Structures are given as structure tokens and as C-alpha cells.
Structure 1
């Protein structure tokens, strides 16, 4: 549904002059008539007035997430980001928060690569001045509802803004405070915070506009060298524990610390109210930041100075304020890194221009960009709670991926979670969720694999194999293997990632139909992956079949098994896709691809009539977090063909170890179960697994931050967010990408409490559709598709 009646009436081409009903304005009002022109102008004025008032009034409640003072003890920060830059939040709205840039990594000697924390730019500090009790700064005052009265912080997912309001009482000197923060979707190098203060006193106040220069993280561990036992000893020796500290510290925080950015040069101009710096990540890329501060109109600070210490570069100022008057300050920030933007002088020019344009302009452009993204949405009728979860997951995905680049998605987005490394999550979990709704962002994820193909080919050569062997944990900049040494076995054996990469490439081709892309980007990857599997599989003469030994299963507790079913099925599909890609492009397929694919062993219990998780010689007896990897066989991009009876028996066989496990439910594993039930036509079962994502404790309040499990606090886990969205996009719709397009592979299902749902503005081979699943009066569920109401 188009929420902007003026846009709907005036037409979808923002440059066209079209009147209500699609008729040209001159035709509707009388060609060339003064009356017509006057009416046209009145129409434009009315629409402009509506547009100015629309954001607050038209925002669907499912886009609004709110924190109150009750959340202080358990506050789990949200994220503001545009895929290039992201920062965390904090309760006051004025704190210095950790911030990261895409693929900007620290490469310390002996360590794995990790996201380098850039100088914190979000903070603005405030003091009401000297009182009889001493000098207090807002950001150092303990969070107490008696001090922070009428507290409310709202994350607007639709607008991409965070707004914080409260009455700050500093020993009898009270100030009404409002803070609005954003990371621009329209101008990716820019971010901004606007602070409005309304003092309830006359007097002098102080403000500080800093860049926080984080001290190098201590302790640092040689994770590229330490064994698992040595790592445990080192953690204990530093009086640390591998367990979560509430509310938001993950269990592996002692190992997932941020990397370092060294400030090389820094400047401040007190008269021009600007700051700028150049820096470099540890043995990594260069970067830059700049700040420009905007003062309230008519306010003349009594003093402004630049302050510099090893930990802080800031503009400090004092000003006299009057009771009941509102004073609004703006802090404009520009950020860049090597290969994306310029240096400090270029960033300084950007923030000066942004300040000249004003915060309202920056915010309006940013909000318009977010609204444009939300044209592609999943809209649910009849279940507000599920709708809010879906919007939350989409928001976090869009905040952590970029359009038109070759930068990937880390498992926890632009945070230090999993050290910012790139897993199969990028290709199998996040990519398919974006592909139909935001193909320009999805392409960045598969283009990362094309860009880093040389690194994958080098890995294969080092092991005496052909083709390309993609890392289990890839560095997002260089594509090199970065698995910590204690887990090195995963880097060597959890090789299904290489097949996952090729399958994603093919999925992009199916969705885009872009033959030029397939030739230049997808085909080289798919070809190299097929060569890898043809050389990695082993011919076993006595069984007359190919096998793949020494593999880590998707269920990683089984870290050295032969013939992992998910791995072998994925490898077979990658080999088959290579032959198909060759046929599309008129290239010659290696005949060995078909030979290995046709004779590759897939474990199956013929007597019971279902697949096994791995070779029958391996006991399936560990109480593992996964329980069974068989549900992964129906992931939409893989979707192993099988008879309905086998599919049913596989599901029943897999449920026993999953439901009987004593391990915390992993939010990553819930989506395949919901999708699996949907392929069986089991709407109630699909909905039950879907609802576990709501009620399993993996959505952390107040901002619906998804964690890996209920108890490990591994947040911003966009892997599982992608899985949840795939549940609806492919599971409930029954749709799959095939050579014939987006086809109905299974009947659609609709959760019992939902009236309907619609995928809006779905992109497929240059066309756009709205796809709806609904229930008629007789209770029959049907899928319909039609040209999108809101086209580009």
C-alpha cells in the first residue's frame, strides 16, 4: 500500500508532472489556463504540506521500537548504519559509542584480522555548570530514573533514526533534552547527531563535541597461533571468562575485541568549529574522519577551544542560556577509508557542506532513502508481533550491507562479533533473503566471492587441489583464511562453504538474468568451485563411487566424518550447476564434473527410507547444538529433490535429536525447520517453528536485536535474520528460483493467525511484482502475483 497519497496521485516517476488519475496536469485543469495553473500550484502546496507532516503521522507501529527507564538495567544497544558505517547506541543518546566501517580491518602480528574500531563520533557531552555539589557531565552521571525523568528512546525503523528524550535533573538544575541521530542512507559518508536542550534555569552551560580516540585493546591474544588449550589458559590468566555478562556482552567478548585504529594526524579549528583526523588500522588501510558543529542561531559562545589528549579530540564551548528557551546544536560527521572516499581534508569539505545545508536537509534525504528501501517489504496482516519482528530483521540487514560494491556480510554485521569474518552465512543465509527484495545489495555479497577468487585459488593450490577453496572464515577485505588457530580444523574441513559460494552465484543469475554478469563474475567462480570438488572427491573402487572424507559437518561437533550429507549434496549441486552455466555461456564443461556428480555418494538408510546426516559408519550420538543437519537440505537455494515420502521421513527422523537436545536453541537453526514444515504443507508446524523466533529469547529488548542463542548474547546476528526472512519469502510462499523464473515448487502455506502476507516490489529479471498469499472464504490458501504497485 502506498502511504503517500500525493505520490500515488502525482505518479511514481518523481520527475514527471502527472495529475490524479495519471492525466497530465495541463489536460486535467485546462491546457494553458491560468485557473488550471493556479489549481496545480495549490495541489503542489497541499502535497508539500502533507509530506512535511507525514513521517510522524504515517509511521506504522510495527516500525517503532521504544526503550523506557525500565530498560536501563537490561539495555541492549541498537545499531545505526548504512552498510558502509555503523555505530551502536547508548541510553542517553549522547555517549561515545564504538563504530566500524565496512571491511576496515586490523591485522596485528600473530592475531586473526578483526574490525578496527574507528574514532567514536556519536558523542556530545553537556554540563549545567558548577554547582554546590561539584561539576557534573551528563555522560558520566549514573542512569537513574529520578535523574533521567520522562525517559523515552525510539528507534524508527522506517526512517532509520534514533530519537531520545528525557528531563535531566542535575542537582536541581533541570534540562529538557532531545537527541536525534542517524547514519545517512542517502549520503553514505555522512552521519549526524542533533542535540536540543531546553534549560529550566538561567546560567552558563558547557558542551563538548568529541572524537573518542580509543586506546589499543588489551589484552590481545595471538589467536592465529594459540592452541585451544593455550587460548583457555591465556583468557584465565587475564582474569577473564568466556561467558556473557548481562545485558549485552557476548560470551566470547574476550576473544572478539575490536581492532585498533592509530591516529596519525589530527587538527581542530575552534573558530571554524571543526575537527579532522587521518588514521590507519593496525597494519591495515588508512581512514579519515571530520566533524563540523552547528550552533543555535543567535547563540554566541563565551568560549570555544580545541582539546586534545591521547584519548580524546574535541571542541569545547561555554554559552549562557535562558530558562525556557530551546537551543539546538548539530554535529555533522564525515567518514572515509582507503578505497572509499578521500582523506581528512576531503571529509572536512563534506561536513562543512553538510552543515551549510543543515540537519533538516540531511535528515529529509536520509529518511527518503529509507522509505525508498521500504518499498520492498514483507507486510503481514493479522499478526502485529510477527510484523514487528520482520521489520526489525529487515532493518538490521539493510543497515549492514551495501549496494553496488563487492563488500560482504559478516555473521554479526558491522560489529566485532565473530571477528567480522565472512562465513557461508553471507551466501546461504543473508544473500537469499536480500535477493528478491534488494538485489543490488545481494549482488555485493556474491561479487565479494568473485573479487576474492584469487585468494581461494591460492588456498586450493597450497593443498594440492584444483580450482578454488574458499575459507571458512574469510577476511572481508582480502578474502584470506582467518579462522582462529584453536578452530583451525573448521578452516580445513568445513568445506561445504565452497559449494555454498557457487550455489549463490547461480541463484543471482537465475534472479537477474544478467548474462554479462554471469560471464564476467559468476562463471569464473562456479568453474573454479567445480574444479575443486572434482579434485577433492575420492574414487573408491570397491564401492564404485566417489566419496568426500575428512569433513566437518554443518553440525560442527562432528568435525571429522566421511560423507557428510549436506556437504556431498551441496558439492553435487555445485558440479551440476557448472555444467549448466557452461551451456548458458557456450563454454565447454569438464566431463569430470558430471562423472563425479553422478557417482557421488549421498548417505541414505534404504531400510528406513530416509537420509542420514553422514556416513553410516559414524555414530550419531552427540547432544549437539544442531541435533541434525538434515533440515538444511531444504534450504531454498539447495532444495534437494526427493519424493514426498522421503521428505516426510527425513523431517521426522531429524526432529528427534533436535527436540531432545539439551543445548540452547540456536536462532540460525529455527528457519530450516519452519521451511521444511512448509514444504510438507504443514502450516501449523511451520508457524510453530517460526514463532520460536519470537519466543525463544533470541530477540533482545528493547530494539529486537537478534542473538545467536538466548544466553550467549552474540548480537546483531543477521545470519538468523536472513533465515527468518527466507522462511516467509520461500518457505511460506513455496517459491523457488529455477531456470523458468520464480516458480511455485510447493503449495503456499499461511500461519493460522495470519490473514495474509505480501512481498512488495519483488525484483525478477528487470520486472517488479507484488506477491500475496491469502486465505479465501473457504479457508483455501492461494498465491497471487501482479505487477508491483510501486515501480521504480
Structure 2
């Protein structure tokens, strides 16, 4: 019989989930009024000049921004992603496939199921045929990938420009065509995307082209995951002849459960003469949406035939045209998407794509590239390790492709994909938000404002359980903010409550970085106050021990799903309570004295004999070969940063290393950042660099486009949680910087991985000012941090 722990573990690779100090000498800080005193004297003049050169805009041809697929990747192709935070699509190796696409917070709410991202009609595809031959009639997108058919193949993801370009010579039984495809999802015009196809036939004759909107069928089978127990869930999967294991090269485990939701097309139109398509739709029990395309033809080309094709699964513009050998013909397919609350209907989208077609592909691409170039002003530039540079740029690219500026929309752990059903975890607040905060604060704010927007849902959830304040969901719906943990893993929604502290701590971090008192009063403070009330009512007074304890929680090391006094949870709760009191002082608001009482008497497990923290209450045996091994490294995450004396910090690290290094579980990419940051706080550059390097060598970076997966074997991709962790390793771990009330404080000595010569964080934002921050080697070989005002304007 399958037990509860096993059934929950099947749901999420982080077992137990569903498918998831000492202060250094102060006095050196960066605030909004000035620079760090005295550090530049340690840096040679030539090195300073090199750092200045790094602040110049990067070239679009810089190899640190280019990722390439060749024909050798056909059998192991892991798709990349094109997105702008509002919507995204996956890629295909031909560059012309119709691919699944998703919009932010556009969810399916089918009865009995959890909410899940509704796939919008696929827009990226353009199909091509050379017509009938003695061998038959073939369409490009249906021909098997074969290096003998797709010769001189090369697909390049340009991270700097946000474009995907594919080139090859397509040989259709003796009729060859040179093909080039370029696709993008616009960063400048968020509703727009485009695919441009250029063909150069090596023959005279008639060709056929199809420009479809792919109307995805509802996924079958659907499971009532909001109602099924763990045992029933696994039985249902098996009864449908499905598996929860990963299928190479890119299908994730739990794909049988992480299918896309349904968008029902309500009305579709096509005009062959105008070369346009449009539709209105609605997600199952969810929001309305709209989509439109307009096709641009090569100058002077008059189709022999143009018609609209309709079926239950496809709405397309079909063209036939006569072509001449050696001539290049360029087509463009412009698309516009919108949904209720973001844009208009099909008529409005049709106007957008007609205008985009009128302006032309070059203008749309130029504005898009300029928008990406502006984003890349805030960058992390590494000298001495080209592979690390490409990895960092790819993680920044995927993160920026899945978050929005100036909204209150969050990010799921796997961004705009069905991974983890698009739900919002603590990943949003503790992993992604800090990585964005210094480089892209306008996007970081969207993540914390999501918690302000969904505060009423969290308050209602607390009331239902007889608690005060706000109890944020473990798995939050990105639109409504409601709990969406599957019934098979319901225990996590009730017990993995550290998410509430993570939410409050992130609110305070945004205040520290922005200095925006009006925001704190209107957005951050209501959340922090409600979370503090929650912890004050959730903690239990134990009279015989004269202390508060937090009982019946799922540890951050999730194999332990019913423990008292999880150390990470208690430390985080204490900090949330303390920060609420600080926020009240800043705003002149009354602070509940019970917050300070609970914080001051909350039990933090410590082994008095050996002198190190425990993962949780000593009454719980620490005897499971878990995914993390130990959660103690989480205590040094930059937003939490538990104060410890040097001896305790070292003892905690040594204690945590044994179960972590001896674990037989697949390495989880989420756990690498805390170890690297921990080693950096100890001043151990070699260990910090080695843990960072494992981001590249542990099998969690999938070729050819550096898609980060959760583990080497589960194929849970676009795992932006771990991308955020990697970026934090550099931004806070290697720099030693922390956000505190005085600004960006040098809390720990900087470190450099042994292979690196230097690195620079460009255009760092702090309280309205911008800085470039460099860590390099001084004359004595030690890492030295310097800061200077950034070039240019915001």
C-alpha cells in the first residue's frame, strides 16, 4: 500500500511537496547619497580602467550572449522559450513549428481540478511545402528531423536581442530550399510577437504556405486533482497507461499531471484577401482572451490562391505561389494576444497586428532589441570564465522573459509554462524577487505587489482556520491568490507555512531598496502587519518551557512533513514579527506588543552539547536521505541572513555538510545557491566557487539553450527558482552585500571563485540612484569590492 508520504512525494520532486551571524565590521555601506569610502585605494589603476570598460553596453555579437543548436542536437533538443513576461512560447528545432503558448495569470478553473495555465492558440507556426513530387506531398513541419534533409542546420538564441534565428537547407526529395526563420516576443510592445520566414528555392515551381492559429484540443485525460487522494491519483495515472517519470529529452516527470488547461474558442474569423485571422476565446471557467494575426507577403508576390481553412483544431491562411530559383521570398506573421484585464478583444488585436504589419518587421524588431538592450544595462559581467558568463546571461534571460514590470503579477516556479501548474510558491518571494531587486526593481516590485493584491484571499484563509491576520497559500493561484495545492498534497498547504514569513520579509526588502515610504504604507505595511498577526496567533505558548513554539509544520526540508519547531520556519517567523514592529516605527503606526513578546520567546532549536543549530526540534530523528540533506544553509539566504558568531556559523556549516554530501538523491538545483552563499559568508572562495560551478556540472543545465531543470533527471524545466538562486549567489554571496536600514551594506568580505578575474554588476538600483559594483583581485590577491556611480541615466 502506498503511504501518504510516498503519494505526496510522487507529486513533487522535492520530496513531500507537490510537483516542489555574525556581522562583519560595519561602517562601510552604500546609501542613496554616496559611495563606499576607502575601498578603491586597494585597486590598481589599470584594473579600475578595465572595470570602467565593462560598464559599456555589450555587443549583440558577444559570444557570452549566444547559444547555438546544431544538427547534433536533434535527438536531445530541449526547447528554449521566447517571452516578455506577459506571454511566452516554447521553441521547435525547425523554427516553424506551432508551439504551446501561455499568458500570465490566464488560468483554467475546471470543476474538480486545481487551476492550471490555459494554453492559448498557438501562433508561432508557419508550414511550407514544395508541392507534389514523385515521392508524394510533404509539409516541412511533418518531416522527420534528419541531418540529410536539414543540412547546414544552425539555430541561435541571441540572449542579448531576445531573438531565435534558425537556418538550414531543406531538401524535399530533390527540391531544396534555403530557409531562415526569426521569431521574437516583443519586449517593447507587450501584446505583439512575430515570426519571419525567408525561403530561397533552388528550383522553379509552385510552393504552398500555411499560416495557422493552432486550436489546442482539451487535454485528455483530466484528473480531479482537487479531490483525489495520493493513492487515487497514482491509480488514475496508471489506469490511463501514463507514467510520472520523465521521458527524454524534454518531457518532465509529472507531465501526466502538469498538462495545460483549456481555452475554448468562441468566435473565429479569417479574411483571405486581407490575410488576417482573429478569434475570441475563454479559459475554462476563467477569463476571456483574444488573438489575431496578419501576414505580410514578399514585395511583388501575388499568390496563385489564398483561402481560409477552418477545422475544430486549426484556423489558418493557406497560400499557393509561384517562385523562381535563386530568389528570396520573405513572409512575416504578426500576432497580437490579449486577455480580460490586459488589452482588448479580437477586434482590438486585429488593429494591433495590422498596424504592426504596416510598420514592418524591421521596425518591430528594432524596438524589441532596443528594449532588451535597455534591460541588459543591468547585467552581471564576468571576466575569466566564458562558460559561467553564458550561464549567468541565460539565467537572467529566462528570468526576465517570465516577469513583468509595473504590474502585480507574480512568477511561478517554472515561469510561463505548466510546470507546477503555474502556481506561485515562496519561490516568488525568496528566490526570484531578491535576484531582481538590485538589477530590475520595477520587475521585483510586481512580485511583492502580488502579495498586496491577494491579501484579502490570505486573510480569508486565516479566518477559516481560526487564526488572525493573513495565511498565504503554499500554492497560490496567480490570478485569484487562492490555495491550489492538490488534495493529494493538502498537508503542505496547511503546514508548509514558512511561506508567510517569506512574503513579509520580501516586503521589507523592497522598502530597504526603494526607500518608498508611500509604497510601504499602502502596500508593504498591510501585508507585514497581517503576517505578524498570523504568527502571533499560530505560535503556541508552552508554559513548562516558558517559550513559544510552532508545532505541526512541514519543514523546509520537505520530507519531514509534521515536525515541531522547524528551525528555518521559526527563524523566519521571528524575523517577520520583528520587521513588522520596525515597519510600524517607520510609519508611526501602533505595533502590537504581542509581536515582540512572541519574537523574543520563540524557540530556535540548538544542540547545546555540540554548539550548532538543529534542522528542527531535537525530538525528531534526522534520519531521512532527503533531497536537501539539511536545511541549515537556508538560514544564510540573503533576505533572512540569521546573525551568528563565527564559531556557530562554521559549526552549522560543518554539521550540514555531512548529510548534504552523503545524500544519494539527485542534486536539486534549488539547493546549490544556499551552499555557495554559505561558503562565501565564511570567506571560503574555493568552496563557494565549487558550489557555484555545480550549477553547470550537476546536469541541471540542459543543452543547447541552457534551460535550467530542477534535478538532472526530472526534466522540470524553465526552473526560474534556481536561476534566481544562482544570480543571488553572485549579487549577495560573492559580493558579501546585504540590504539593511543603512543601505547596501558590506556585511561580509567579498570573494572571487578561483577561475574568475573579476565580475561587475552594472546599473545596480538603490533608492533612486544607480551604481556599478565590481569585485576584483587586489595586489595581494584578495578580493576587493569597489563601487561607483553608473554611467547614463535610468
SS in 2 for 1:93: coil
- Pick from 507, 510, 513 the counterpart of residue 509 of structure 2: 507
- Contact 2:57–2:377 (CA<8 Å) still a contact in 1? no
Distance 1:662 1:779 in 2: 37
Report how far residue 789 of structure 1 moved: 1.7
Match among 442, 451, 454 for residue 453 of structure 2: 451
Rounded Cα–Cα distance in structure 2 between residues aligned with 1:360 and 1:616: 64
Q: Specify the alignment match of 1:534 in structure 2.
A: 536
- Taking the aligned partners of 1:626 and 1:183, their CA distance within structure 2 comes to 37
Work out the number of aligned pairs and report it: 739
Partner of 1:778: 780
User: Cα distance 1:59–1:616, how it changes in 2: closer, same or farther (>3 A)?
Assistant: same
Write out per-residue CA displacement over residues 194-238 of structure 1, whole angstroms, 9 at most, x where no aligned residue.
000000000000000000000000000000000000000000000
1:717 corresponds to: 719
Return the alpha-carbon distance in structure 2 between the equivalents of residues 720 and 250 of structure 1. 16
Q: Distance in 1 between matches of 2:152 and 2:287?
A: 44
Deviation of 1:342 (Å): 0.1
Q: Show CA shifts across 1:591-650 (max 9, x none).
A: 000000000000000110100000000000000001000000000000000111000000
1:299 matches 2:301: yes
Q: Establish whether residue 726 from structure 1 lines up as the match of residue 728 from structure 2.
A: yes
1:40-51 correspondence runs (5 A): none
CA distance 1:549–1:107, change in 2 (3 Å): same
Q: Provide the rounded CA distance (Å) in 1 between the counterparts of 2:390 and 2:655.
A: 33
Compute the displacement of 1:325 (Å).
Answer: 0.1
Mapping of residues 569-718 of structure 1, within 5 Å: 569-718=571-720
Residue number among 232, 239, 242 corresponding to 2:241 in the alignment: 239
Instruction: Provide the rounded CA distance (Å) in 2 between the counterparts of 1:776 and 1:785.
Output: 14
In structure 1, what is the Cα distance between the partners aligned to 2:579 and 2:269?
55
| Superimposed CA distance per residue, residues 244-263 of structure 1 (whole angstroms, 9 cap, x where no aligned partner) | 00000001100000000000
Q: After the TM superposition, which residues 125-164 of structure 1 pair with which residues of structure 2 at under 5 Å, given as runs?
A: 125-164=127-166
1:179 partner SS: strand
| Counterpart position of 1:397 | 399
Q: Tell me which of the two structures has the higher relative contact order, counting C-alpha pairs closer than 8 angstroms and 6 or more residues apart.
A: 2
Contact 1:761/1:791 (8 A) holds in 2: no
User: What are the within-5 Å matches in structure 2 for residues 225-304 of structure 1?
Assistant: 225-304=227-306
Cα distance in 2 between the residues matched to 1:551 and 1:155: 43
How far does the alpha carbon of each residue in 1:126-152 deviate from its partner, in whole angstroms, 9 at most, with x for none?
000111111100000000000000000
Native 8 Å contact 1:557 1:622 kept in 2 = yes
In 1, Cα distance between the equivalents of 2:58 and 2:164? 13
Does the 8 Å CA contact 2:60/2:161 hold for their aligned counterparts?
no
Q: Which residue does the alignment assign to 1:364?
A: 366
What CA deviation, in whole Å up to 9, does each residue of 1:288-307 have, x standing for no partner? 00000000000000010000
| Closer/same/farther in 2, CA of residues 645 and 391 from structure 1, 3 Å limit | same
CA distance in 1, matches of 2:606, 2:779: 43
Candidates 330, 351, 354, aligned match of 1:352: 354
Matching residue within 424, 442, 450 for 1:422: 424
Q: Is the 8 A contact 1:179 1:193 kept in 2?
A: yes
What is the distance in 1 between the residues matched to 2:104 and 2:307? 33
Q: 1:551 matched to which residue of 2?
A: 553
Contact 1:194 1:329 in 2 (8 A): yes
**Alpha-carbon distance, 1:58 to partner:** 4.5
Q: Tell me, what secondary structure is at the counterpart of 1:427? A: helix
In 1: Cα distance, 2:260 partner to 2:514 partner: 37
2:39 is matched with which residue? none
Q: What's the CA shift for 1:791?
A: 2.7
Out of 333, 342, 357, which is 2:335 matched to? Answer: 333
RMSD: 0.9
C-alpha offsets along residues 146-192 of structure 1, whole Å, 9 cap, x if unaligned?
Answer: 00000000000000000000000000000000000000000000000
CA deviation digits over 1:562-603, x for unaligned, max 9?
000000000000000000000000000000000000000000
Partner residue, 2:11:
none
Partner of 2:174: 172
Distance in 1 (CA, whole Å) between partners of 2:144 and 2:388 is 35
Look up the match of 2:222.
Answer: 220
2:567 to 565, 568, 572: 565
The SS at the match of 1:786 is strand
Offset of residue 55 of structure 1: 11
Q: Does structure 2 conserve the Cα–Cα contact (< 8 Å) formed by 1:424 and 1:501?
A: yes
Taking the aligned partners of 1:154 and 1:697, their CA distance within structure 2 comes to 22
1:462 equivalent to 2:436? Answer: no
Aligned to 1:22: none
Unmatched 5+ stretches in structure 1? 1-53
The answer (yes or no) to whether the contact 1:375–1:790 under 8 Å persists in 2 is: no
Match of 1:436 among 431, 435, 438: 438
Choose from 748, 753, 756 the match for 2:755: 753
Instruction: Please list, as runs of the form range in 1=range in 2, the aligned pairs for 1:175-214 lying within 5 A after superposition.
Output: 175-214=177-216
Q: Is the 8 A contact 2:759 2:775 kept in 1?
A: yes
Q: 3-state SS of the aligned residue for 2:401? A: helix
What TM-score results when the alignment is normalised by the length of structure 1? 0.93
Map Cα deviations across residues 354-377 of structure 1 (whole Å, 9 max, x no partner): 000000000000000000000000
Residues 64-99 of structure 1 deviation map (CA, whole Å, 9 limit, x = unaligned): 000000000000000000000100000000000000
State the Cα distance separating 1:56 from its structure 2 match. Answer: 11
Residue number among 115, 118, 138 corresponding to 1:116 in the alignment: 118
Distance in 1 (CA, whole Å) between partners of 2:252 and 2:225 is: 18
Conserved? CA contact 2:116–2:260, under 8 Å: yes
Deviation at 1:777, TM superposition (A): 2.5
The question of whether the paired residues in 2 share the 8 Å contact of 1:97 and 1:122 is answered with: yes
Shift of 1:778: 1.9
Q: Deviations over 1:263-305 (max 9, x none)?
A: 0000000000000000000000000000000000000000100
Q: Secondary structure at the match of 1:697?
A: coil
| Contact map agreement 2:738 2:745 (CA 8 A) in 1 | yes
| Aligned counterparts of 2:791 and 2:427: Cα–Cα separation in 1 | 32
